[in-house]
């Protein structure tokens, strides 16, 4: 079967689908990943086909306008609208590119970020569709939409459940109404007709539900009782490091030269948040106050090793499977992929979320006790970050729960489960 997987976003939005693509290809399918140009070499490194989707969600996220919206503590929805404005000029090109990439496919898989555009292309070409999610998507009374804050703790149970369910429905409609004007104009030009005014997926998925894969562990977020049998929590989709990758000699020497360090990395968040050296100053002062050795992700920081104290090693992106088990704790922004890797490694997490899904995963990690209480990026200081690191390193309860989460996660094989479900359902 020829399968095209459509995914956009940051590395954490693409890597799990490369892992799944490898699993599907091993099972005899031919897999193409349609995504941004920045990931072409990464996709091809794993012997998967590649198709271009122009633009970059990461660039839109890191735009000055989007960042200022976040820094002024405006709503997540306002932030999404700013990102949409930056991405708008590329929509027509993306529709044309994706239509070409999907022609001749036997099956399409999309993500929540690409769900509407892929759903309508699947309809145009009469191609079966499934959905892969690294974060939960779909109405439930058990937990809130990842786009909104959780309900207040003091609310009675029935009110929390009503809030949760309503948050999914309301945000789904708002996201569609935000995307429709962009997609509608492009659709008229490419396919000669417009798109429906009302949110289309609820009715379509109720009538003919696609298989929905949730690429996270049930031990981190259990499957809700009100989800259907085609909504499947598989376990995480972890990608093995490429056989081309070798650890840096300097990094290995640093790891062996003293006590276990902490990891500090904000990945795709660095580019837009390092204005006036904000992250540099924060990290240097935090590490000094915490009195720890640290491995710091250099993405977007522009650090040179010779300008740092000897207790800090700066590294370019490195497979978390190699690095995180060697850490005493991991400090990060709460992206789905980084959160998964930290839990898999069994070390305490300190999450400082900036945007919507990061806040959701920080909430999940706190709920299972594998990390400290999250500190919102807007409130982050060397004082509260160093205090959180100290709590993570000294709390026996957090350490034990992080180890337990790791044991359970490592007993799962999310890729194998997803491939088994796919073959059973579609082959």
The answer to whether the CB of 17 falls within 8 A of the CB of 111 is yes
Could you tell me the domains of the chain?
2-236+412-426 (3.40.50.2000), 249-409 (3.40.50.2000)
The least confident of 219-223, 225-229, 297-301 is 297-301
Closest residue by Cα to residue 149 from 374, 384, 386, 380: 374
User: Tens digits of per-residue pLDDT, 128-170?
Assistant: 999 999 999 999 999 999 989 899 999 999 999 999 999 999 9
Residue % of the chain over a pLDDT of 70: 89
Q: How far apart, in whole angstroms, are the C-alpha atoms of residue 359 and residue 405?
A: 19
- Residue 179 confidence (pLDDT): 85
pLDDT value at 369 more than 90 = yes
Q: Taking residues 41-62, report their average pLDDT.
A: 79
Closest residue by Cα to residue 221 from 210, 230, 211, 231: 231
User: Tens digits of per-residue pLDDT, 88-130?
Assistant: 667 889 899 999 999 999 999 999 989 999 999 999 999 999 9
- Residue 56 confidence (pLDDT): 59
The alpha carbon of 328 is separated from its chain's Cα centroid by a whole number of angstroms, namely 23
Label residues 275-312 b or e (16+ Cβ within 10 Å = b): eeeebbebbbebbeebebbbbbbbbbbebeeeebeeeb
Q: How confident is the model at residue 381 (pLDDT cuts 50, 70, 90)?
A: very high
Residue 260: C-alpha distances to residues 210, 237, 323 (Å): 45, 27, 11
- Residue 251 confidence (pLDDT): 96
The residues, ordered by sequence, that sit 6+ positions from 169 with a Cβ below 8 Å of its Cβ are: 139, 202
- Residue 92 confidence (pLDDT): 87
Residue with tokens 């920045």: 38
Radius of gyration in angstroms for the set of CA atoms belonging to the chain, rounded to a whole number: 21
Residue 242: C-alpha distances to residues 239, 319, 346 (Å): 9, 9, 23
Cβ-in-10-Å burial (0-12, 13-18, 19+) of 390 comes to middle
Phi/psi at 226 (5° precision): -95, 10
Give the E-state strand segments of 234-328 in sequence order: 262-265, 294-297, 312-315
The answer to whether the CB of 402 falls within 8 A of the CB of 324 is no
| DSSP class per residue in 310-348 | TTEEEE----HHHHGGG-SEEEE---HHHHHHHHHHT--
Please tell me what DSSP assigns to residue 287.
H
The residues, ordered by sequence, that sit 6+ positions from 181 with a Cβ below 8 Å of its Cβ are: none
- Residue 336 confidence (pLDDT): 94
The model carries a pTM of 0.91
Mean pLDDT (the chain) is: 90
The alpha carbon of 294 is separated from its chain's Cα centroid by a whole number of angstroms, namely 24
For residues 139 and 272, the model is more confident at: 139
- Residue 66 confidence (pLDDT): 47
Q: How confident is the model at residue 63 (pLDDT cuts 50, 70, 90)?
A: very low
Phi/psi at 416 (5° precision): -60, -40
User: Tens digits of per-residue pLDDT, 402-412?
Assistant: 999 999 999 99
Pull the structure tokens for residue 145: 């939409």
| DSSP class per residue in 167-215 | HHHHHHHHHHHHHHHHHHHHHHHHHSS---SS--HHHHHHHSPPPEEE-
- Residue 130 confidence (pLDDT): 98
Number of alpha carbons in the 13 Å side-chain half-sphere of residue 372: 24
């Amino acid at each position: 079967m020829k399968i095209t997987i459509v995914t956009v976003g940051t590395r954490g939005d693409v890597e799990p689908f490369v892992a799944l693509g490898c699993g599907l290809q091993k099972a005899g399918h031919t897999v193409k990943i349609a995504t941004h140009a920045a990931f072409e070499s990464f996709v091809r490194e794993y012997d998967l086909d590649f198709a271009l989707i122009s633009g970059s969600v990461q660039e839109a996220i890191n735009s000055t306008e989007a960042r200022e919206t976040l820094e002024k503590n405006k709503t997540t929805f306002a932030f999404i609208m700013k990102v949409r404005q930056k991405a708008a000029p590329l929509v027509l090109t993306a529709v044309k590119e994706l239509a070409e990439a999907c022609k001749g496919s036997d099956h399409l898989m999309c993500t929540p970020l690409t769900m509407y555009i892929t759903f309508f292309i699947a309809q145009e070409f009469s191609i079966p569709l499934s959905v892969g999610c690294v974060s939960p998507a779909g109405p439930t009374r058990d937990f809130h939409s990842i786009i909104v804050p959780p309900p207040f703790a003091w609310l009675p149970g029935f009110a929390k459940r009503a809030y949760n369910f309503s948050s999914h429905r309301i945000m789904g409609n708002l996201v569609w109404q935000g995307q429709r004007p962009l997609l509608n104009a492009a659709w008229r030009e490419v396919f000669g007709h417009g798109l429906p005014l009302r949110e289309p997926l609820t009715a379509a998925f109720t009538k003919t539900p696609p298989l929905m894969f949730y690429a996270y562990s049930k031990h981190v977020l259990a499957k809700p009782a009100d989800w259907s049998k085609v909504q499947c929590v598989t376990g995480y989709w972890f990608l093995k490091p490429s056989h081309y990758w070798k650890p840096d000699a300097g990094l290995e020497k640093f790891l062996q030269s003293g006590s276990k360090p902490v990891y500090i990395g904000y990945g795709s968040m660095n580019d837009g948040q390092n204005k006036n050296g904000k992250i540099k100053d924060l990290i240097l002062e935090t590490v000094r106050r915490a009195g720890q050795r640290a491995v710091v992700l250099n993405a977007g920081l522009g650090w040179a090793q010779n300008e740092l104290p000897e207790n800090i090693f700066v590294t370019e992106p490195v497979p978390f499977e190699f690095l995180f088990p060697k850490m005493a704790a991991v400090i990060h922004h709460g992206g789905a992929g980084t959160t998964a890797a930290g839990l898999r490694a069994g070390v305490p997490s300190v999450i400082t979320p900036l945007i919507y899904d990061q806040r959701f995963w920080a909430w999940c990690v706190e709920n299972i006790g594998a990390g400290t209480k999250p500190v919102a990026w807007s409130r982050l200081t060397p004082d509260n970050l160093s205090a959180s690191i100290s709590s993570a390193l000294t709390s026996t309860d957090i350490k034990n729960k992080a180890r337990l989460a790791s044991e359970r996660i490592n007993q799962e094989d999310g890729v194998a489960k997803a491939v088994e479900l796919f073959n059973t359902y579609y082959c």
